[in-house]
Structures are given as structure tokens and as C-alpha cells.
Structure 1
Amino acid sequence: MSVQKQILLIGAGIGGLSVAIHLALQGHAVHIVERQPQVGGKLNHIALDGFSFDTGPSLVTMPYVLRELFATAGRSIEEYLDLQSLDITCRYFYRDGALLNAWRDHDKLAQEFARFNPEDGAAFWRFLKHARTIFDASANPFLYHSRGGPLDLFQTFLRYIQQGGGDVSTQLRKSTLPERLGAIATALSSESLDQHIRTFFTDEHIRQLFARYATYNGSSPYQLGAVYSIIPYVELADGGWYPRGGMYTIAQALERLACELGVCIETNQNVRRILVEHGRARGVVLADGRVLRSDLVVANSDVVTTYRELLSPAVRKRRLVRRLEHLEPSSSGFVMMLGTNKQYPALAHHNIFFSDDYPAEFEDLFVRKLPQRNPTIYINATTRSDPGQAPDGHENLFILVNTPALTEQSNWQRDALPYRDHLLDRLASYQQIDLRDIRAHIVAETLLTPLDFQRNYGANAGSIYGLSSNARMAPFTRPGNRAPDIAGLYFVGGSTHPGGGVPLVMLSGKIVAGLIAEDYA
């Protein structure tokens, strides 16, 4: 075991809690300072007039990442969380009146696809098998280990060709050599996710369903690489999961485990500056002037914001800051949390109301950088699985629309209420469900805009997922978990490798703990 270090952690988001647990298990003394009143970062919670709302991630995928973390600590996840699988992962509403249920059961899902196009039912099985091989090929270099260079990628792919996958158990048979070669060809191709999906599926409803997974890391399906077909794979292969009591119970469970392991967590503590002495991170200076010294610093804050605001000009490398600022932020989001005194049984737990012009939607997001005129709308109604999240006979509706990251032209103080009304009008126009009366039944309401994500969490340009993955070299240009210019400074969370989303930021915590063990063995 490495020599015990005093480690200061900035931020108690899911990545920060994950790395704190791993470091405590290594024997280090870990102290977290969090500027919000409660832990969780963007995975947070609001209680409003008897309604309970999760304010960030709403779906658990790759649940084995959570289970592994608790098992590493010698605990059973069942002692902390009640994870439930969803029979319908998501219900899709289309502008032409079509409705599609994404069943957890693969046979039922294939039949659902076949209802739209007979050939697409069989195509589902081909996609699942092919995407599994891509996942097996890319999981090691892109998810489970610290970011390497092209040579590291080549060596990893060579081992995969020779040995096949083995990191993730699946119910599918082991891949053949031609299948593994095909997976690597896809991973390295210039093909976009949308183009790749079109090689499998014919029906436009199903193509749109798969293309939307680009939004899981704040990107566009028309720019995101085909390798990211692993995103729909990880959801469809094992389905979607929900922790009873809401997603915030995940943050509470990680906080409880961290405290049991001796991690010190201080909330309502804003960091003014990272203390750097002789090129090495040595602690932080808080907004109240208090100095907390440490051997190492791990930042669960946005990497761009950290370099721009938490490092003094004397130690900040201008060239590095400029490079970071040139990386494209991920999309942000506009959120409505509505408590209604009426229930809408046509809604599933997760629901997508698709626009009828997907290319125009992503042009608004990443080219025009304006709120979409014709957006896809997501509604999370957790009362379907967890009635206690709202008063009897009521509904808690978390409504999210992807929006561009903040620009100089953004003015959400002016645009929030008109955009809210625009979205409610759009929802009222879908023929599969009658939402025309929703305004009359709202009894509790609050909004979140990209400006709130920037203010509350220090998110660069209000981005939800840190950086987009639209560029083909995104896996190599995404900031690594070690600071390249300051010894003893590490990064964890969605703005660093391996990316955004609950399982990936948890994996980033494991990666950072491994790097610290390697650096200070």
C-alpha cells in the first residue's frame, strides 16, 4: 500500500465521492470541500410542496459499476440502495402519431421494432451483437484506464484481437476474430453515429431512437463517431434501472459509505484558489480565507473552470487554458420541474417526445447555438415506479430539453419563461397523449437554465456533460486525469476522462485513485 497522504478534494459530486471512497480504502486521509449545502453535484434533489424531484441524471445504466464500488469496500449494495429494473426503459412519442415502447425484454423489443419494419426486428439482434464487440474492444482504452495515446490504443486493440473481450460479462456468445476486426474498424472509422445506425435499421422512427443516444454525452449524432454506438448498447443490453426513493439516493449512499470509511466532508465551503508551491498542488484557499493544506489535490470541479478561476495567474499556463477553452462544451439543458394535481397515465417512467426534424434540432444546438425551435422533449415521471415521489393522485414531471452551452448571445433571464410556454405548447400538440390541460393542473413549479448549471456547479458555459465528443479525436483531446503542468493535481468527473454520466464519472474516480497509487507507491 502507498504511504498515507493528506488528500484534499474539491467537490462532492459523484466522481468526487467515488474517488474519495477508493482513496480511503487505500489508507489515505481524505477531506472534501463542497460549495453546495449538500453532496451530489449535478445529481441532486429538490423537495417542493410535497413533490420530490431529481435535478440531474434520471436513469442508471451499467449498474455493475455501482455494485463493484460497494463490493470493493466489502459492502453489499443492497444495504445502501434498492435498485429496480424498468420493464419499459423508455416510451417514444413521434410527431406522426407513432408510439414505441423500448422494452427491457430483448424479444419484446425486437418485436416492437418489427412492428415498424419487419427487417428491423432482425437488425436489432445484429446491432446488439456488433455493438457488444465494439464495447469489448473500446472499454479498456476509453473507459477503464487512464487516457493513453495512439500507441496505447494500438496495443490494447492488438490484445483484443488476439484474446477477445473479458472485462464485461454478457449473455451473448464470445466474438469471433472477424467480428473483433470489424469492431475495431468501426471504432477507428470516420463514420458518424447516425451513418452507422443507418447501416442496420431502415425505419426512420428507429433510426431516430438510436441517434438520440448521442445526447447522453451532450453531442450530435451527425458528428459523434460510430464508436459511440456503445452508448445504446450499454442501456439496451442490461436495461434501465431506478433506485427507489429517487436518483439522489445514489449520492446519499456514496456519502454514507465515504463517511463510514473516515472521509471528512464539509459542505457550504467555496474554494477560492488552489494552493500551488514550487509547481506542486499543496492545498486550497477557501472563500473565507481559511487555508487547508494537503499533500495532493483532486478537483471534482470542471477542468476548464478550474484552470480559468482556481489557479492564480502566476502558475496558470495561458497556452493550456487557451487550448482547453477551444474544446467544444457539451450541450446544456433547460429543465422544468412541474408538480401537477392530475396524473397522466399514458406516460411511462421515461418518455421522449421526438421532434420531426432532427438535423435542424442539432443545427440549432451546435451550429446556430440557439434554443431549438423544434426540440425533442424528455419527461421523467418517477411516480410510475415510485408513487411516494408526489402526493396521492399527483404527478412529478421532470421535463428536459437539450440547449446550447452559454454564449455571449444567451439571455436566459429574458428567455426562460417564454421558452417554458413554448415547450408546453409543443407537448400539447402530440396526439398520442392529451397534455393540453397541463397548465391548469400545475400546483408546484421550478425551472433550471444553463445559467443555473454554470452558477451552481461551476460548469463551463453551463454545459451538463463537460465537453462534447463531436470531434473524432475527442477521446484523446479530452483532458486527462493528471494535470500536465502541476504535480499533485488530479481531475475527476464529467469534464475529464472518460466522460460524463453517472457510471463514467464513477469510473473516473477509480482511475484517479489508481493513478495516485501508481505515483506514490
Structure 2
Amino acid sequence: MARIAVVGAGLGAMAAAARLAVAGHEVTVYERTETHGGGVRRFARDGFAFDTGPGLLRLPAAHRDLFVKTGREPLERCVELTRIDPDVRHHFADGTTVTLPSTSHGGVAAALDAALGEDAGARWNALLGRARTVWEATRRPLLEEPLSHGADAAGELGHDPYPRPVRRRRLALRRPGRATRTGRPTTLREVAEAELRDPRLVALLESYAHAYGLDPARAPAGAVVLPYVEQTFGCWYPRGGTRALADAVYARCRARGVRFRFGAGVRRVRAEGGRATGVELADGSTEAADVVVACGGVPGTDTWDGSGDGGGGSGDGAAAGEPPTGSARFTVLLALRGARPRDAAHRAVVHTTVRGEEGVVTVLRPDDPALRPDDGHEAAVLTTAVPGGPVAAPERLADELVAAADAAGLGLGARVLWREVRTPEAYAAETGSPGGVVPAPVLAGADGAYLRAPNRTPLDGLYVAGGWAHPGGGLAHATMSGALVAGLVVEGDGWRGSR
């Protein structure tokens, strides 16, 4: 039995802790704040409750696997999961609206044809067919295997997996530097413009990048996998919000004997003889450990640069090892008078400009009695991506988001009882991420710039999990990182994932 110190209490950290405890190890989680969940938090007031982090689940199999592997009680007995259907309603800048059903490629094609014109659905599904090729080529190395450390860590994942060349006659009309000499598209925007043509379809594809804080003009072509995953496996909502999932994982950890120490920030990882030997806490005390699992970066080691990145890529196309300069979330929580309309979509995406830049405003309106004081009220969450760091005039930006939703016909502004504005600084305070930057999932291509820190570090006995480690951000990906780290610790550094 090894003594294992886990730094942080986010989803990836707790996933690793629960699995390691089940394997017979003595696990202690050190969390600098006073609660678990990392960025998966809740804001409550006057009978209203809101998710302040991600509001939907994708790839729920990652969470189901965690609960199966750590006890007899499956996930569905601990959290009520519902697949949202319709999946999303898009409001385009020209006034067009399209509602897309969940997990039905045929239904999506029919909806697109009806709203955008004949052949729109065929073009979209042809793109998703190529996205399936990307998914099949990268699913295991991106999601189910730990990332190796070293100069060749990216390996094949650094190469563009998008399968279809762009015709050369189209390239001749494009701006210089927009495609490689092979004629293959190199960015998601190139894919969108070459394959979809209709500006609304282009906006639809690019909205998946915007939702993760990625720039479509820089994100690799392999980012086509983002809509493929969502339309193939669906989006899921935990009754009570995603905080209910964090609570269930925390309860599973406690049931398996994991010890939590809140208000115990870790200043650095201690090492001796080329091996991790424990942690030094913010109060100067030290705790010995045989293995350290660091989440959110690796404090006090040569892979920690103060950015929270832990030595991986930046997630927005910068070279590996640079600090993250990606996007943060700006969120407006709305307490609304009046009942939720029966035809309201759980998720709406408003295609608009935010402070003069193209982007989207995502509006989540769960039909969940746990989030409102009574059926005569409604809770809504508006989110957009912004640069990391302080936001100038946040109340004015909040007004802009509400106005964009109202311009799309959602009718929220006149119903507001009160609102709470959540800036990147709030997220930074909860997670320690500089500037409140939110990590995106890993993507293949771009010479490995969209990969994250390998799960095993050069220091023996030190491993990394969470959104800033492989396989990146998002609830499912962070949870998978915990599984990968647990596998490396239990099975040895040569472990290459479950078969």
C-alpha cells in the first residue's frame, strides 16, 4: 500500500483518488479552497440555483466507468442523467432558426434542409462522415491512452487527421498561408468554408470551437470531431445540475476511504534523489508521500511555470510549453419571473458579435425544479468566451449578452428579477487557473500544439491529471485523466490503457 497525495479536488483529481483508493492505497486529497469540484460549482440565492461551470455532460461513459470501477452502485443510482432532446436550437445572425434533434444524423439533416435549404443536411452529414474518420483514428490515443513524455510525445497526434484534400482551384482563391502544400485544410475555418459554403453552416461548425473557447481560424481541422461526438453520443444533463455529479464523485471518494483536507493549499512537490517524496503545504508544513498526483499544474517542479499548464500546450495553437493564453468564460446568471415557456430549448446558441468579435452566446434553461423556487420562476445561464484576465465593464458586457438573447427572440430581459455576473476572476479564484482560462479538450494536428501535459512527469512518482493534463478539459476528459493516472500508478509506467 502506497501513501498517495492528490493535489486538488476537481473531477480529475477525485476520479484518480477514488480509483487509487479502491486499488488499496492510502489516499489524501489536499485542496486549497473549502470545497470539492474545482470549476464545477454552484451559486444559490433566493431559491434559485445555477451551475457556474459546465452545465452539460458529454461522453457520460467516462463517468459510468468511474462508478463501475469504484463500487457496486452505478452512476445512474447516484445521479439522474437525462439526454437533452432537442440537442440545441441555433439562432443565426440573419434571423434563421434551426432546432437540431439529439443523436439522429438523419433528423439533423432534415432539420437543416428545412431551415437552410436543400442539400444543407447532406453537406453537413458528409462533413460528419469525415469527422468520424478523425474520431476513429484518434479516439484511443487521445482519450484512452496516457500521453508519453519527451520530444516525440505528440507522435502521430501532431499530424492533421482530417482526411479530405481541398481542391487546388479553391486554394488559388484563398488568402496566402491558409492551407498546406498538400492541399489539405489545416484549420477548422478552412474546413468550414471549403466543405459547407453556406455561411450559416460555417457558423454552425465554428460554434463548436467557440463553445470551448477555441479560435476556428487557428483550431486544427481535426476539431471537426467536436460536433461529431456531440451529435453521435448526445448531451446529458444531471438532475440538480452538474454540481450534483461533483457531489456524487466526492461521496464515492469518501465511501472508499479517501481523506480530504480542505483549506490546505500545496506550495510545491517535494523531491529527493530524483523522486517525489511528498508535498509542502502553504502553511510550511510537509506531508510525506510515495506518489503525488498533481492537478491544475505541478507546483514547485521544473514542469510548473506558474501558468497552471503543467508544461503542455496552450490549447489555442501556441507552441507546447508556453503558458495558456486561451479563453475564459464570462457568465450571467439570471433569476427570471414567470414560468419557463413550454417550447424553450434546454440549450440555445445565439450567433452574434461580442464586443465587436464574432462569437456565440450559449443560453442554458434546464427544466429542473431543483434550480428554481417554484414553477412560477425560471433560472437561466448565459455564457460566452472572453480572453483570460480582467474584463472591462463587466455589467455592460452582461447587458450585451442579454440583449443578444432578446434579439434572437428569447425574451429574457424583461423577466429579470436579479442577475449575478461571473467573471474570469471568479473562476480563477476557484480553480487557480491564471486569468480564469478554461482548458479545452485535446485535439490532434497542429504539430501537437493542442495536446496537454503527459500524465507521467520526468520526476519519478509524480503524475498529473485534470484539465491541464492529457486528455484536456471538459468533464469527461478530466475524469478520463484520473483513470489514466490511476492506471499508470497501479499497473506501472509501461501501461498503455485498458484493453
Higher strand share: 2
Give the equivalent residue in structure 2 for 1:112.
111
Q: Deviations over 1:385-429 (max 9, x none)?
A: x133102211111111110012xxx4x3x5222222233333333
* Aligned position for 1:421: 399
Q: Which amino acid aligns with 1:389?
A: L
Tell me, yes or no, if the aligned pair for 1:46 and 1:53 is still in contact at 8 Å: yes
Distance change in 2, residues 1:416/1:202 (3 Å): same
1:249 aligns with 2:223: no
Residue 363 (structure 2) aligns with: 379
- 1:29 corresponds to which letter in structure 2? E
Asked if residue 48 in structure 1 is aligned to residue 45 in structure 2, the reply is yes
CA gap 1:303/1:293 in 2 versus in 1, 3 angstroms: closer
Q: Post-superposition shift, 1:226?
A: 1.2
SS of match in other structure, 1:354: strand
Residue 334 (structure 2) pairs with residue 350 (structure 1): no
| Deviation (angstroms), 1:520 | 7.0
Aligned to 2:138: 138
Out of 376, 386, 392, the position equivalent to 1:403 is 386
Report SS of the residue matched to 1:16.
helix
After superposition, give the CA deviation of every residue in 1:287-318 in whole Å (9 maximum; x if it has no partner): 3333221111111123589824599xxxx99x
Residue number in structure 1 paired with 2:470: 497
Give 1:156 shift: 9.4
Per-residue CA deviation, residues 266-294 of structure 1 (Å, 9 max, x unaligned), is 22222233223333222222233332211
| TM superposition shift of 1:69 | 1.6
The answer to which of 451-460 and 240-249 deviates more is: 451-460
Question: Displacement, 1:38?
Answer: 1.7
The answer (yes or no) to whether the contact 1:274–1:285 under 8 Å persists in 2 is yes
Q: Does 1:457 align with 2:457?
A: no
8 Å contact kept, 2:332–2:382: yes
The one-letter amino acid paired with 2:93 is R
Identity %: 29
Per the TM alignment, residue 11 of structure 1 is displaced from its structure 2 partner at its CA by 0.6
Larger fraction in helix: 1
**1:230: which partner in 2?**
225
- What is the CA–CA distance in structure 1 between the aligned matches of 2:273 and 2:428, rounded to whole Å? 31
SS in 2 for 1:285: strand
- Cα distance change on mapping 1:476 and 1:376 into 2, 3 Å: closer
The reply on whether 1:77 has 2:93 as its aligned counterpart is: no
Structure 2 match to 1:103: 101
Unmatched 5+ stretches in structure 1: 158-180, 362-370
Partner of 1:442 in structure 2?
417
C-alpha RMSD over aligned residues: 3.3
What is the TM-score when the length of structure 1 is the normalising length?
A: 0.80
> 1:520 and 1:61, CA in 2 relative to 1: closer, same or farther beyond 3 A?
closer
Corresponding residue pairs, total = 464
SS in 1 for 2:28: strand
Provide, for residues 160-201 of structure 1, a one-character-per-residue CA deviation record: whole Å limited to 9, x for no partner: xxxxxxxxxxxxxxxxxxxxx974989x95521122234442
The code of the aligned residue for 2:41 comes to N
Distance in 2 between residues matched to 1:153 and 1:506, nearest whole Å: 21
Aligned to 2:49, what secondary structure does the other structure show? strand
Which of 14, 19, 25 does residue 17 from structure 1 map onto? 14
Q: Tell me the TM-score normalized by structure 2.
A: 0.84
Q: For 2:118, give the aligned amino acid.
A: P
Equivalence for 1:334: 330
Aligned to 2:296: 301
Counterparts of 1:198-347 in structure 2, within 5 Å, are 198-303=193-298, 307-308=304-305, 326-343=322-339, 345=341, 347=344
CA deviations on 1:449-507 (whole Å, 9 max, x unpaired) are 111222221103320116996981235753211223x3222111111111111111111
Residues 134, 230 of structure 1: 8 Å contact kept: yes
Aligned match of 2:29: 32
Counterparts in 2 of 1:8 and 1:436: CA distance versus 1, 3 Å: closer
2:463 counterpart SS class: strand
Residues 165 and 185 of structure 2 are in contact (CA less than 8 Å); yes or no, is this contact kept in structure 1? Answer: no
**Compared with structure 1, are the counterparts of its residues 30 and 152 closer, same or farther at alpha carbon in structure 2 (3 Å cutoff)?**
same
Q: Which residue of 2 aligns with 1:389?
A: 371
Where does residue 161 of structure 1 map in the other structure? none
Counterpart among 72, 79, 86 of residue 88 in structure 1: 86
Change in Cα spacing, 1:436 to 1:80, as seen in structure 2 (3 Å) is closer
Answer yes or no: is the 8 Å Cα contact 1:217–1:468 preserved in 2.
no
- Structure 2: any 5+ residue segments left out of the alignment? 167-181, 312-317, 495-499
Assess if the C-alpha contact under 8 Å between 2:222 and 2:444 holds in 1. Answer: no
Distance between the aligned counterparts of 2:466 and 2:332, measured in 1? 25
